[in-house]
């Protein structure tokens, strides 16, 4: 079974800078893709970043539309860093759901993914 077949959440390729923070440390990274479950960053984390403490991520879709989530490091490789969503506020999940809906081309598919998320 391929990774795509096992994956319950569609990844949306999205090339944008993201702001990250942890315990007073702030940095930017490039977003490779995002899903309802988390995101993948291009590159590596700063050496001073703890991989066992939560990382706050802000993804600006526009000046007024920002997705904010608290994440944890799920995996790291030469290709990038996978972050799993720990918590996300209601407004951010609305924006992320809409982004997923637009990319999947179906509100029903986005609803199915949201249902998977809360199981």
Q: Where are the chain's structural domains?
A: 3-117
What's the distance, Cα to Cα, between the start and end of the chain in Å? 22
- Contact (CB, 8 A) for 96 and 104: no
- What proportion of the chain, given as a percentage, has pLDDT over 90? 51
Tens-place pLDDT, residues 85-110: 999 999 998 888 888 777 766 567 55
Give the rounded percent of residues in the chain with a pLDDT score beyond 70: 75
CATH 2.40.10.220 fits 3-117, yes or no: yes
Q: Which residue has the higher pLDDT, 36 or 25?
A: 25
Q: How far apart are CA 91 and CA 21, in angstroms?
A: 20
Contact yes or no for 43/80 (Cβ under 8 A): yes
The candidate with the shortest Cα–Cα distance to 54, out of 29, 25, 78, 80, is 25
C-alpha distances in Å from residue 51, one per residue of 46, 61, 63, 78: 10, 26, 29, 15
Q: What is the pLDDT of residue 76?
A: 93
- How far apart CA 69 and CA 88 sit, in angstroms, is 5
E-strand ranges in 35-115 read: 38-42, 55-60, 66-77, 80-88
CA–chain centroid gap for 55, Å, is 11
């Amino acid at each position: 079974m391929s990774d795509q077949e096992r994956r319950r959440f569609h990844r949306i390729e999205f090339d944008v800078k993201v702001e990250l923070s942890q315990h007073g440390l702030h940095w930017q990274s490039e977003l490779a893709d995002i899903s309802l479950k988390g995101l993948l960053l291009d590159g590596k984390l700063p050496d001073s970043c703890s991989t066992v403490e939560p990382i706050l991520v802000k993804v600006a879709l526009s000046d007024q539309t920002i997705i904010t989530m608290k994440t944890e490091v799920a995996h790291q490789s030469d290709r990038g860093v996978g972050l799993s969503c720990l918590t996300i506020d209601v407004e951010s999940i609305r924006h992320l759901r809409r982004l997923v809906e637009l990319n999947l081309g179906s509100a029903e598919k986005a609803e199915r993914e949201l249902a998977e998320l809360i199981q």
